[in-house]
Chain A
Amino acid sequence: MEKMARVTTALGSNTISGCTMFCHLDAPANAISVCRDAAQVVVAGRNIFKIYALEEEQFVEKLNLRVGRKPSLNFSCADVMWHQMDENLLATAATNGAVVTWNLGKPSRNKQDQLFTEHKRTVNKVCFHPTEVHMLLSGSQDGYMKCFDLRKKESVSTFSGQSESVRDVQFSIRDYFTFAASFENGNVQLWDIRRPDRYERMFTAHNGPVFCCDWHPEDRGWLATGGRDKMVKVWDITTNRAKEIHCVQTIASVARVKWRPERKYHLATCSMMVDHNIYVWDVRRPFIPFATFEEHKDVTTGIVWRHLHDPGFLLSGSKDSTLYQHKFKDASRPVDKANPEGLCFGLFGDLAFAAKESLISGGGDSNRKPYGSGGDRRYPIFFFKKPDLTEQFAHESSALSVFETDLESSRMDWFVKTARRYLLSGKPFGELCDHNAKVAKELNRPQVSTTWTMLRVMYSDPGNLATATSISKGGSIPLMNSFNMKEIAAGGLGSESRLDRGKGEIWQDTIHLDPGNSLINNNDENEETEGSEGPADYLFGDAELEDDNLYPMEHENPTAEEAEYSLPQEAFPLRHEIVDNPSVPEHLQDKVDSPHVSGNEAEAVCLTPIKSFSLISISQPLYESHLPASFFSPVVREMLQHYAEAGDVQMAVSVLIVLGDRIRKEEHWYTSYIDLLQRFELWNVSNEVIKLSTSSAINCLNQTSTTLHINCSNCKRPMSNKGWICDRCHQCASICAVCHHVVKGLFVWCQGCSHGGHLEHIMNWLKSSSHCPAGCGHLCEYT
């Protein structure tokens, strides 16, 4: 729970009290400022300039400073500031470049006191000295800052920001002579008021304009800045170089930033565009606002803490023509609504998951083990951040579970081997299919192997199929069935890719069969990264966690696979309706429910060929012989679709290539297969695939990145156009170190000393010497 505002001693006799309240203004506000005693607030805008008294439950209009029949542009305020020493003194920055002071003590209706029209452009900011009564500072679009002595008619000194527009100026609260200025080009300058000739220091704070800055009320070295780049940064300027010590990323450009009184790490921000809320951040927790005020309906233009020593009340003015007093107690706390959960994959497939402790521990406290103690890291572990008493954050403890992947099981050997050994062209169709079927079989992938055989059967010219005629007759129904069978096996195959698949998808894990005790663990895991549904989504079976592998990769192991081969025999008579069901998870679910699964023994008896033959007898009478190849196309396409969706693009693409014109192409399968091949550094195979694809978009991949950028050997700068003459030093860059002629053509060079030359010359040279021909003394190596 929150510890709320301690009543501060500095407040003296009249403690601030009040509630969240608002009043309508007649026009949008540009800036607001409070009187020293926190009893009145001034609101200024293009068409408004009024003073309101802050009463217990409402704002009361005290004074309208916009007087005269035809209000001049001097009333059109970009900024306003109430003097913190003299409660009769106000200053405004006008959009036409005037700086105006107002004396509330004047008897007349027009309270305008002094008018300075020295700035050529809009004045963005005015600032009174915190302790000096007569000193006023202004910053303008024209790039100048001017310091005025209110007893004189003109500015006393002018500070030049080198033609960059000034967005904010702020006197340091602790250092009498220092002020900070922020600029449109992203710089922040620190000046000494006595030295108008040159800034004391300058640093680049933001990318793009710095809209605001604010000195920390207590710590003299801290300056907060906010910029168009949506960041709030806190700088420590006591060190030699300004050091960024905190950074808060907001969702919109930051228009104002104000430190919260009496809370060292808190600051309030509002944004210039799009986002209407006011946020109070704890800079040590930059990811989620500490508190939010969501009352305004248009962008907030001015924020100010009501009293210098009271953190409980914030005032704000907005473009929606309202003035608000926010009571801190009424703020909404985003932390309370947030679900502290996180999920991440490691480089080698490890999965870490952190969630609220209360959710994850459940009843299985016995599962807890300290992190890192010995081998098994699959259990949820718990650790705590040491509570910091100064923080007002609700403490969350979360449990982190790390699930390790067995490296062996996730190996992609089969992929590499398959890619290497498949034949995609260069032989008659039938032979290619046979060859690939053989490869698949040798790699223990009978489903794939069967598919190849089937394809051969379906698409080969029936005349050539002396032996397999009978098979071709019955092609249709067995194929349908084989889909179901494949799906089961593909659960194992596809899982790698599903692991990579995007978040928000629900996958249900496949079974893990252990032939020894035939125990089936059903492990459901819902991944819902949005977290919006609340904690109930995360269900971890307690007991199962013990000996279950969350990783479907495990299915690669031979025992599990053997158990799966046996499925077809029992499965096919029942399974015809599922063909229409495209989604993988459903099949998997079916399979889990299926009673057949558990009973299977690891027998290799029912390998696919047998299955095919057994089917022939059923289907033979139903079909005429010699079905046209196009008859199978929809079925084959569906099969390819299935493979691709299960993640085995290799199969899909290989089949596509081998089938050639027999079927329509899917371009994106190609791209993903090529991508995979390149990741496994199978350059030759990937090149072959690119070459064999009929799509022009794929084919042209071979022609990309054929450029090699080189630097000139003389001046070491990039060569722009021609390969042998450098534009900059006008010398021939690629000179053969042996014959001293320009090399136009094959140029070979040593990567160590970058000398080189004609291929032949270098080869000859290296026969006799191992040193560089250029005489640089390098022992050249050419590979």
Chain B
Amino acid sequence: MSTKAITQDIGVRIPRPLEHGPSRFIPEKEILQVSKVNAKTQAIFEDAFAALGRLDNISLVMGFHPKYLESFLRTQHYLLQMDGPLSLHCRHYIGIMAAARHQCSYLVNLHVNDFLQVGGDSKWLNGLEDAPEKLQHLEELNKILAHRPWLVTKAHIEQLLKAEEHSWSLAELIHAVVLLTHYHSLASFTFGCGISPEIHCDGGHTFRPPSVSNYCTCDIANGNDTLDEIQGNHALTDALCEVEALMEKMKQLQECRDEEASQEEMATRFETEKTESMRVAAAEEEDSVPARDVSRHFEDTSYGYKDFSRRGEHVPTFRAQDYSWEDHGYSLVNRLYPDVGQLLDEKFQIAYNLTYNTMAMHRDVDTSMLRRAIWNYIHCMFGIKYDDYDYGEINQLLDRSFKAYIKTVVCSPEKTTKRMYDSFWRQFKHSEKVHVNLLLMEARMQAELLYALRAITHYMT
């Protein structure tokens, strides 16, 4: 008896996934291949499934990098399930708030389910006005952290901590900040890799028979695959040269290190890069704000990432040497929310140091320079400056389309399209592009965390 017959007999509607595979950008085959070949990935997937009762698309895509995935899942599990100052449903609600800042319906839907499952009040989901006042207070910080973290000041922290009966405790605040930054950056990853909706969530399935439906719920992405494929072949030869050129540049930089740039030169390079990062057009059109109901979770939709130089805002540069994650951030987090500092520290390190020494079809390449350039470029966009880095390198190593992609994913992830994903680093493997996304996500999270933690430290001293 066929499925159709059963459906008709019993009257049960069988949902059908709308997307093919966990990501819209990466062919399903390639993702599923990973867990078959790699026993470690398989084992992590099993553990994740056992712990959560599901294996979400994010984990599937991260499966390209099992080492990172393991640390990621451990951290996320600790943040959401283990002992902590915030109650379980609050954690999910904060996750929803954070993801909603970027209109990331994927994460919102996922956590709406979780939120209800741990006994959250469904009324809260109607919008922030219906949530407790305490959580409403957090929205301001959420907004700033998501879009302009450099504006976080001691005053914001003070407002949260001294609101009489609705005030937060320091430990709760740290927990909330870690959750917020985690979900902001996870939203970047979700859009950056074009994660498809889960089948059990809204927009993840349809009951229409396959033949009729040509309908697509990719409410965010406006990618047009067919066109790209035609262009794809054409560009193949170009792309080959790209990789070669990049390799060549890296070699050059490595060799002629000591071509001394003057001190002023170095200082201006950072400024140039910072200002230029603003000019890199983040996205083509602005009108693609989806009319999803996630918007109810945040009030001020107009408040987005603003390029600080272009709008004439001057932001003092954040010196990484004065407040670094390793020395300061870690201690503060671990003090107020034990073990999380350790987990985050491991996660950052794994993300930063992850390498397979490959670049596209080349093997045994030292990619540390490239990774550092990406990491520092993101921090540069947030105004974080490393004294010991020559920002000229960024210009050499990251081309325009790649910069545009980074900027979009990090600053306004909801505008990422498949075209952008395809157009950078055309010759590179999907796993490498996912690797880039991991870097983007972690660098962004660290940048946001640094600003938030610095404000908290200032408050405390």
Report which A residues bind B (CB closer than 8 A): 46, 70, 72-74, 76, 78, 94-97, 117, 119-122, 141, 184, 208-209, 211, 228, 252-253, 272-274, 276, 297-299, 720-721, 727
Cα distance A365–B183 when bound, in Å? 67
Instruction: Check A209–B326 contact: CB distance below 8 A.
Output: yes
The answer on a CB contact under 8 Å between A273 and B457 is yes
Kindly state whether residue B257 has any CB partner on chain A within 8 Å: yes
Does the CB pair B263–A46 fall under 8 Å?
Answer: no
Min Cβ gap B376→A in Å is 12
Cα distance A463–B322 in the bound complex, in angstroms: 82
> Using a CB-CB cutoff of 8 Å, which residues 242-275 of chain B contact chain A?
257-258, 260, 263-264, 266-267
| B327: interface (CB < 8 Å) | yes
Contact of A298 among B39, B43, B267, B461 (CB under 8 A): B461
Cβ contacts under 8 Å, B322 to chain A:
46
Selected contact of B388 from candidates A72, A96, A208, CB within 8 Å? A96
A96 contact set on B, CB distance < 8 A: 266, 387-388
The answer on a CB contact under 8 Å between B327 and A122 is no
Given contacts A96-B388, A184-B326, A298-B461, contact A120 B331 (CB under 8 A): no
Shortest Cβ distance from A726 into chain B, in angstroms? 13
Q: Is B327 a contact of A272 with CB atoms below 8 Å?
A: yes
Q: Does A141 lie within 8 Å of B388, measured CB to CB?
A: yes
State the CA gap A208–B386 with chains docked (Å).
Answer: 22
In the assembled complex, the Cα of A273 lies from the Cα of B335 at a distance in Å of: 10
Check A274–B388 contact: CB distance below 8 A.
no
B321 touches A46 (CB 8 A): yes
Least CB distance from A395 to B in Å reads: 34
Once the chains bind, are B46 and A272 in contact (CB under 8 Å)? no
Q: Find chain A residues with CB under 8 A from B460 CB.
A: 274
B292 at the interface (CB under 8 A from A): no
> What are 12 sample pairs from A and B whose C-beta atoms fall under 8 A apart?
A46-B321, A96-B266, A97-B387, A184-B326, A209-B327, A252-B331, A253-B331, A272-B331, A273-B327, A274-B332, A274-B457, A297-B461
A299–B457 Cα distance when bound, in Å, is 11
Contacts of A72 in B (CB 8 A): 263-264
Q: Which chain B residues lie closer than 8 Å to A252 at the CB level?
A: 331, 335
Q: Confirm or deny: B310 has a beta carbon within 8 angstroms of a beta carbon on chain A.
A: no
> By the criterion CB–CB under 8 Å, are B267 and A73 in contact?
yes
**Additional A-B contact list (5), CB under 8 Å, known A117-B260, A274-B332, A274-B457:** A95-B388, A97-B388, A120-B257, A274-B331, A727-B39
B332: chain A residues at CB < 8 Å are 273-274
Q: In the bound complex, what is the Cα–Cα distance between A76 and B321 (angstroms)?
A: 10
Chain A residue at smallest Cβ distance from B386 = A122
Q: Which residues of A contact B267 (CB under 8 A)?
A: 73
Asked if B330 is an interface residue, CB under 8 A from chain A, the answer is yes
- Asked whether B162 is an interface residue with its Cβ less than 8 Å from the other chain, the reply is no
Partner of B328, one of A73, A272, A721, A727: A272
Which chain B positions have C-beta within 8 A of A228?
Answer: 326-327, 330-331
Q: Beta-carbon contacts of B287-325 to A below 8 Å, as 1s and 0s?
A: 000000000000000000000000000000001011000
Given A72-B264, A117-B260: A273 and B328 interface contact (C-beta under 8 Å): yes
The complex places the Cα of A231 from the Cα of B388 at a distance, in Å, of: 29
- Which of B263, B388, B457 is within 8 Å of A122, CB to CB? B388
Closest chain B residue, CB of each to CB of A320: B461
Q: Is the interface of A mostly helix, strand, loop or mixed?
A: loop
B319 near A46: Cβ-Cβ < 8 Å: yes
Please, which residue of chain A has its CB at the minimum distance from the CB of B329?
Answer: A273
Please report which residues of chain B, range 444-461, place their CB below 8 angstroms from some CB of chain A when the two chains form the complex: 457, 460-461
- Please tell me if the beta carbons of A78 and B321 are within 8 angstroms of each other in the complex: yes
Say how far A438's CB is from chain B's closest CB, in angstroms. 42
Residues of B within 8 A of A97 (CB): 387-388
Give the shortest distance, in Å, between A750 (CB) and chain B (any CB): 30
Cβ-defined partner of A121 (8 Å) among B264, B331, B388: B388
Most buried by B among A120, A252, A253, A299: A253
- Chain B residue total in the interface (Cβ 8 A): 28
Return chain A residues, CB-CB under 8 Å to B342. Answer: 208
Considering only CB atoms, which chain A residue lies closest to B258 in the complex? A117
A299 CA / B331 CA spacing, docked (Å): 13
Beta-carbon nearest neighbor of B322 in chain A: A46
Give the Cβ gap from A467 to chain B, nearest Cβ, in Å. Answer: 48
Q: Which residues of B are found within 8 Å of A298, using beta-carbon distances? A: 461
Asked if A720 contacts B46 (CB within 8 A), the reply is yes
Out of A73, A211, A299, A727, name the residue touching B263 (CB < 8 Å). A73
In Å, the complex CA distance between A208 and B321 comes to 18
User: Given contacts A78-B321, A297-B461, are A721 and B387 in contact (CB under 8 A)?
Assistant: no
CB distance from A707 to the nearest CB of B (A): 10
Please, how many angstroms separate the alpha-carbon atoms of A95 and B39 in the complex? 44
Nearest CB of A to B196, in Å? 27
CA distance in complex: A96, B321 (Å): 10
Q: Are B388 and A120 in contact (CB under 8 A)?
A: yes
Contacting residues, chain A, for B257 (C-beta < 8 A): 120
Q: Is the CB of B387 within 8 A of A122?
A: yes
Let me know if B461 and A720 touch, CB within 8 A: no
Closest B residue by C-beta to A76: B387
Top 8 closest pairs, chain A to chain B, by CB: A72-B263, A95-B387, A273-B331, A96-B387, A97-B388, A122-B388, A253-B331, A121-B388
**With a CB–CB cut-off of 8 A, which chain A residues contact B328?**
272-273
The closest CB in chain B to the CB of A211 belongs to: B327
CA distance A228 to B326 in the complex (A): 9
Question: CA separation between A720 and B40, bound complex, in Å?
Answer: 12
- Shortest distance between the CB of A290 and any CB in chain B (Å): 24
For B266, list chain A residues within 8 Å (CB).
Answer: 73, 96
Q: Return the chain B residue nearest A251 by Cβ.
A: B335
Minimum distance in angstroms from A68 CB to a CB of chain B: 10
> Cβ of A141: which chain B residues have Cβ within 8 Å of it?
388
Give Cα A727 to B42, complex, Å: 11
Min Cβ gap B262→A in Å is 8
Chain A nearest Cβ from B215, distance in angstroms? 39
For B388, the chain A residues whose CB sits under 8 A away are 95-97, 119-122, 141
Q: Are A721 and B46 in contact (CB under 8 A)?
A: yes
In the complex, what distance in Å separates the CA atom of A96 from the CA atom of B269?
14
A74-B331 contact given A95-B321, A298-B461, CB 8 Å threshold: no
The smallest beta-carbon distance between A1 and chain B, in angstroms, is: 35
Q: Which residue of B lies closest to A124 (CB)?
A: B321
Cα of A74 to Cα of B388 in the assembled complex, Å: 11
Of all chain B residues, the one with the shortest Cβ separation from A185 is: B349
Question: How long is the Cα–Cα vector from A273 to B321 in the complex, in angstroms?
Answer: 14
Most buried by B among A74, A94, A96, A184: A96
Q: Which one, A46, A209, A274, contacts B335 given CB within 8 A?
A: A274
Q: Across the interface, which residues of A come within 8 angstroms of B326, CB to CB? A: 184, 209, 228
CA distance A120 to B331 in the complex (A): 26
Whole-angstrom CA separation of A534 from B267 in the bound complex:
58
Nearest CB of chain A from residue B461's CB, rounded to whole Å: 5
Whether B387 and A73, one on each chain, are in contact in the complex, defined by CB atoms closer than 8 angstroms, is yes
Residues of A within 8 A of B386 (CB): 122
Q: A95–B389 Cα gap in the complex (Å)?
A: 10
Q: How far is the CB of A617 from chain B (nearest CB, A)?
A: 52
Question: What's the least CB distance linking B403 to chain A, in Å?
Answer: 24
Interface flags for B328-368 (1: CB within 8 Å of A; 0: not) read 10111001000000100100000000000000000000000
Within 8 Å CB of B321, what residues of A?
46, 76, 78, 95, 122
Q: Cα distance A158–B220 when bound, in Å?
A: 53
Distance between Cα atoms of A298 and B319 in the complex (Å): 18
Report the bound CA distance from A121 to B389 in whole Å.
7
What residues of chain B lie closer than 8 Å to A94, measured between beta carbons?
387
Most central of A117, A208, A272 by chain B CB within 10 Å: A208
Alpha-carbon separation in the docked complex, A534 to B232 (Å): 80
Among residues of B, the one whose C-beta sits closest to the C-beta of A721 is B46
Closest residue of chain B to A95 (Cβ to Cβ) is B387
In the complex formed, the residue of A with least CB distance to B39 is A727
The distance from the CB of A152 to the nearest CB of chain B, in whole angstroms, is 16
B contact residues around A73 at 8 Å (CB):
263, 266-267, 387
Residues of B within 8 A of A211 (CB): 327
Cα distance A96–B328 when bound, in Å?
Answer: 19
- Expressed in whole angstroms, the Cα–Cα distance for A46 and B318 within the complex equals 13
